[in-house]
Structure 1
Amino acid sequence: MTKHYINQEPFDPYSVEQLTPEQEAFYQAPQWKLVWWKFSRHRVAVFCMLFLFVLYASIFISEFLAPYNLHSRHTDNIYSPPQPVHLFHDGAFVGLFVYGLDYNLNMETLKREYRANPERVDRIRFFCQGDAYEFWGLFEARLHFVCPAEGGTLFLLGTDRLGRDILSRMIYGARISLTIGLIGIAISFMLGITIGGLAGYYGGWVDALVQRLIEIFRSFPELPLWMALAAILPVTWSPLWVYFGITIILGLLDWPGLARAVRSKLLSLREEDFTVAAQLMGAKPRRIIFRHLLPSFASHLIASVTLAVPTMILGETALSFLGLGLRPPITSWGVLLSESQNINAVELYPWLMLPVVPVILVVLAFNFLGDGLRDAADPYK
């Protein structure tokens, strides 16, 4: 039999190994700070968050950032190719500039041919006066972040069939394509959290009814259903009403996935001790759902938001590309891509496909951000 020994010496608290300030701060930190510390170590997710922040901040000053007005046409530069930026001319440092373009129409192929003229050095200007615009429709201004040289051109991404600068139109289009995802997500989350919360909390016939409704929605192919609903929008609607109509359609069709996730979470959480305690104290179901249950998996909801926004953006882009979504004069990335439906135009003028680049970058950024948030949801892992 093993003997037990008891130390008769008085307890000295200073003899116990003390926690370092870093360890003490970690164990006493609230959950949101633990999530942020782990998320900040995910460098790709942090970079994507900063990228999206800059992109969304730019939509507030799109008119200032764009070199040209949204509707400015340059009839002498139709289907002009992108002008590369240079720093040196004839071995001497000049600064940022582009070479002027000489235009020639090939009478055999009827193709517009442009050639850089090394004798025309057009220096790029910054914080300069350029095309007039109405800033958010409030007042008229002419200040631009970047402008072409006096009497020169600055088509960094080329021009379209009407001679409009593609870069400027992409900057303006970001305002529509990025915000349509946020408004659609707001509608989708309001429906998904409410319907899924009721199904998960009450169960029984409410849960069965919601599940059958979700299965009906999920049984339809997503893109054809979007197309069918978008096609019924009246052609007499103004562009603003079409914008809100497409937003509501995207929001109404995206809630079933979130509702099913909320329902499954609440089915497991409603049996927890804190939920039973709230019920015994007389808390109403609405308070239990929104004040006790939903905050328990708020990190999952945040990650779901970042993963659902790209779906909205891709949905709007696809509908506008097919001519069933937003229509001119509203400008979005999908509307810009509709210019590239003609394969002959793409073969001759491939820069018309450049508006797809921001779509890809934004979708990837949201997905990487969602992965980082999902990994950081469990800070003790």
Structure 2
Amino acid sequence: MNILKTITHNKLALASLVVLGVLYTMALFAPFFAPYHYDDDDVLTVYAPPSQIHLIDGNNRVSPPFVYRRNVSLNEYYQRVYVEDTMKSCPVKLFVRGSRYKLFGLFESDIHFFGAPGTKVFLCGADSRGRDIFSRILYGAQVSLSIGIVGALLSLGIGMVVGGIAGYAGGSVDNALMRLCEVIMCVPAFYLMLALRAAFPPYLRSLEVYLLIVVILSLIGWASIARIIRGLSLSLREREFVYAARASGLSHVAIITRHILPHTFSYVLAAFFLSIPGYIGAEAALSLLGLG
């Protein structure tokens, strides 16, 4: 409740939360919000520029949103030129029928959030195969945004376990685990990420690639988190409630999970949200190099 009160009283935080909510909602329901399937190509719309959505008709009157059909021609450099045909307008409508899809792999539908029956609407233009870039962005956001959350959660989980054990146990266990963390942190993260990805076959199914990237990012990111959790655990293990837990006969695992790690949640929560952009950027870098 305190977190919610803080967010609602901070306009910048509230605006950021709204933007994130919109982005994740559109990514989650990408097949519905995308006007076309991400792989729908068309040789007639290769490198088509973004569509201009008009609100003023030919008589200079305010009109519901519409787009003009576009004619394609080649200029003297044999480049495609798209020219609007102002005699052929197509209204932009909500909840139109289009290509069929399965939402979450379960619910089949052909209803899309918007579209222009009679022509194509490219909010961000089209690529070299005539595919809608906006639709591809939404489908790609499903991977990038979810990898950020899943990767951060897995890294935090590993880091909390390793750091909690190292800080509570101390001695040779602490020394061995921290040296392992230092070895991982000494290797440049980007090159380690490339090496781990290159160790696996280049041609994998989409789900296998997704899980592989999550594991790679998690294996790289947990070490720094473990060091912080270890430092917190070192101080927490000397607190009175930990001595009381030992005196009551609780096992070491119970003490770590019930009494030590819960007291690190304030740091863990901040680290979780701050690490998400880094995981998204790392996934984008792998994809840019053709390894994602």
Q: TM-score range by the shorter chain?
A: over 0.9
Following superposition, the deviation at residue 46 of structure 1 comes to 2.1
* 2:102 alignment partner, SS class: strand
**TM-score, length basis structure 2:** 0.94
1:101 aligns with 2:46: no
Q: In the alignment, what sits opposite 2:247? A: 280
Q: In the alignment, what sits opposite 2:259? A: 292
1:225 aligns with 2:213: no
Q: Which amino acid aligns with 2:183?
A: I
Q: Which amino acid aligns with 1:100?
A: R
1:205 aligns with 2:176: no
Instruction: Note if contact 2:156-2:268 (Cα within 8 Å) is conserved in structure 1.
Output: no
Q: In the alignment, what sits opposite 2:10? A: 42
Q: Which amino acid aligns with 1:176?
A: V
| In 1, Cα distance between equivalents of 2:69 and 2:245 | 73
1:53 aligns with 2:21: yes
Gaps of 5+ in 1: 1-32, 326-381
Instruction: Note if contact 1:68-1:131 (Cα within 8 Å) is conserved in structure 2.
Output: yes
Q: In the alignment, what sits opposite 1:117? A: 85
Q: Which amino acid aligns with 1:42?
A: N
Query: CA, structure 1 residues 39+126, in 2 after alignment: closer, same or farther (shift >3 Å)?
Result: closer
Instruction: Note if contact 1:66-1:145 (Cα within 8 Å) is conserved in structure 2.
Output: yes
1:143 is aligned, of 111, 121, 124, to: 111
Q: In the alignment, what sits opposite 1:73? A: 41
Q: CA offsets per residue over residues 283-320 of structure 1, 9 Å max, x none?
A: 22222222112222312111111011111111110000
Q: Which amino acid aligns with 1:112?
A: R
Instruction: Note if contact 1:122-1:153 (Cα within 8 Å) is conserved in structure 2.
Output: no
Instruction: Note if contact 1:132-1:140 (Cα within 8 Å) is conserved in structure 2.
Output: yes
**TM-score, length basis structure 1:** 0.73
Q: In the alignment, what sits opposite 1:88? A: 56
Instruction: Note if contact 2:202-2:291 (Cα within 8 Å) is conserved in structure 1.
Output: no
* 2:40 alignment partner, SS class: coil
Query: CA, structure 1 residues 76+35, in 2 after alignment: closer, same or farther (shift >3 Å)?
Result: closer
> What do you get for the CA RMSD once the two structures are aligned?
1.6
| In 2, Cα distance between equivalents of 1:157 and 1:194 | 44
Following superposition, the deviation at residue 155 of structure 1 comes to 0.7
* 2:29 alignment partner, SS class: helix
* 1:68 alignment partner, SS class: coil
Q: Identity, % of aligned pairs?
A: 37
1:13-32 map, 5 Å: none
Following superposition, the deviation at residue 66 of structure 1 comes to 0.8
| In 2, Cα distance between equivalents of 1:138 and 1:70 | 19
1:169 aligns with 2:121: no
| In 1, Cα distance between equivalents of 2:149 and 2:291 | 20
1:242 aligns with 2:209: yes
Q: Which amino acid aligns with 1:165?
A: D
The structure with the larger Rg is 1
2:145 is aligned, of 157, 167, 178, to: 178
Following superposition, the deviation at residue 81 of structure 1 comes to 0.4
* 1:300 alignment partner, SS class: helix
Instruction: Note if contact 1:67-1:148 (Cα within 8 Å) is conserved in structure 2.
Output: no
Following superposition, the deviation at residue 120 of structure 1 comes to 2.6
Instruction: Note if contact 1:66-1:144 (Cα within 8 Å) is conserved in structure 2.
Output: yes
* 1:137 alignment partner, SS class: coil
Q: Which amino acid aligns with 2:74?
A: L
Gaps of 5+ in 2: none
| In 2, Cα distance between equivalents of 1:317 and 1:81 | 24
Query: CA, structure 1 residues 209+37, in 2 after alignment: closer, same or farther (shift >3 Å)?
Result: same
| In 2, Cα distance between equivalents of 1:34 and 1:214 | 34
| In 2, Cα distance between equivalents of 1:157 and 1:266 | 50
1:271 aligns with 2:238: yes
* 2:124 alignment partner, SS class: coil
Query: CA, structure 1 residues 183+270, in 2 after alignment: closer, same or farther (shift >3 Å)?
Result: same
Following superposition, the deviation at residue 139 of structure 1 comes to 4.9
1:126 is aligned, of 91, 94, 102, to: 94
| In 2, Cα distance between equivalents of 1:80 and 1:59 | 24
* 1:173 alignment partner, SS class: helix
Following superposition, the deviation at residue 158 of structure 1 comes to 0.2
